[in-house]
Amino acid sequence: MPAPKRESRLSHDRRILLMALASALPGAAISLIFLWTGDFTPKVQWTLTVLILAFCLGFAFALRERVVLPLQTLSNLLAALGEGDFSIRARGARGGDPLGEVMIEVNALVETLRHQRLDALEATTLLRKVMAEIDVAVFTFDEEQELTFVNRAGARLLSQPSERLLGRRASDLDLADCLRGEAPRVINTAFPGGVGRWEIRRSTFRQGGRPHELLVLSDLSQPLREEERQAWQRLIRVIGHEMNNSLAPIKSIAGSLATIVERDPPPADWRDDVQRGLGVIASRSEALSRFMSAYARLAKLPPPKLAPLDIGSFVDRVVTLEKAHHISVASGPRLTIQGDGDQLEQLLINLIRNAVDAVKETGGGVTVGWQRLPGSAPPTMELWVEDEGPGLSNTGNLFVPFFTTKPGGSGIGLVLSRQIAEAHGGSLLLENRDDRPGCRASLRIPLQPLAQLRADNLAQTATP
């Protein structure tokens, strides 16, 4: 069987040499013909022949070196770049020369790559330090569900050093369930390094052209316990304050009544004293009962029953109920939202009554209006109530339960209103007006239902 033919190719430097010799060959051949056919002595013929051949070969090899040397320099530079060495520069880079321009561009490329590599190293170092210091367990798995990275918190959660964890499969680490199912979600489970409630978050990325999955486990137990502790402290402080305000006078009056009853003979007006004391006890008991009823109402707000609600008709209906004070309506565009009419009606009544109470002393006006917020994403409706009262003096405690500046106020109106707004996926904001004295209450609710917004966000997140 005949051997395959090998294609013989000349190298670039040899082709340059042959082309240089070929370009000099016609002139040299003609010169030698005239030299050897002319009437010259042999000494002259051989001397000139040697000179002609020496010049031709010398210039040909010089041209070869002139072309090959810069190419070798560029080759060395590119080889250094491939090895990650950015300290080498090309010499002889001059402007106005095609070869010099190439050298200048190569040097600029080397400098750019050096800065980019330095920035990448600094960013990688910062990322590694952040990943090591954050108190959140972070894992990355390849397409075979083999662990490729784990931070310090993740190794602590699994109670093993990272060197023993890398390369192991998720099923061997009891993390396979975390890579399946819905995310984000909260689970109650136990790991070798901790027990409690964990929030699971996942995302995908590519590294080295291969798909990887990022798994983040956040311990919610400690923050939840801290929030629960603070909530209990606030609750006990508020309830204790209200109960002391009612029980202290009841105890004092009960002691006074016991002293009156024990006197022998009783004073002449003892019946009046007993009746007044019992009246105070009944009044304080009723106030304490109202407080507990208000707290129960605040804690048991039902979820909203969504239905189409026309904002214009809704505002007109609520304003008509408040006939004790003239309220102006600044009509806006025709808008329809999905909301609970009863809850939103209670919210708007609270805002209007607060505004009416604020302008009783100043004699100012109250205006209710609505608009569609321009450029909002998602599309949002703003319903606002403006008054011309004295404004807000303490904005930090507006939404603190049972805080009130009105005599006889329960202190739950604004808190309940904000809960209703947030249950509809919106927000409630109270602030002093900029154009004149007074307050502006702003209710913002998405025009789409909250469940639909969440579904749209999940769909957008899942779309590549």
Residue 389 has a pLDDT of: 85
pLDDT tens sequence across 20-45: 778 878 887 888 888 788 788 888 88
pLDDT tens sequence across 401-447: 555 555 544 456 777 788 888 888 888 888 888 888 888 999 999 88
Highest mean pLDDT among 5-9, 346-350, 391-395: 346-350
Distance CA 238, CA 394 (A): 19
Rounded to an integer, the average pLDDT of 72-85 is 77
Distance CA 5, CA 117 (A): 46
Residue 412 has a pLDDT of: 65
Kindly report the backbone phi and psi dihedral angles of residue 286, in degrees, each rounded to the nearest multiple of 5, phi listed first.
Answer: -65, -40
Whether the pLDDT of residue 458 is over 50: the answer is no
In this structure, which long-range contacts are made by residues 97-100, counting pairs with CB atoms below 8 Å and at least 24 apart in sequence?
Answer: 99/70
Flag the least confident range among 221-235, 248-262, 273-287, 399-413: 399-413
Distance in angstroms between the alpha carbons of the first and the last residue of the chain: 56
pLDDT tens sequence across 134-191: 788 889 899 888 998 888 888 888 888 888 888 888 888 888 888 888 888 888 888 8
Average pLDDT score over the chain: 78
* DSSP result, 186-240: EEEEEETTEEEEEEEEEEEEEETTEEEEEEEEEE-HHHHHHHHHHHHHHHHHHHH
**Structure confidence at residue 250 as a pLDDT band (50, 70, 90):** confident
Residue 266 has what DSSP assignment? Answer: P
**Structural tokens at position 117:** 């590599």
Distance CA 136, CA 76 (A): 46
Is 163 within 8 Å of 150 (Cβ atoms)?
no
Residue 385 has a pLDDT of: 93
Rounded to an integer, the average pLDDT of 115-132 is 79
Q: Provide the percentage of residues in the chain whose pLDDT is more than 90.
A: 4
pLDDT tens sequence across 263-309: 777 777 777 777 877 877 787 777 677 666 666 665 667 788 888 99
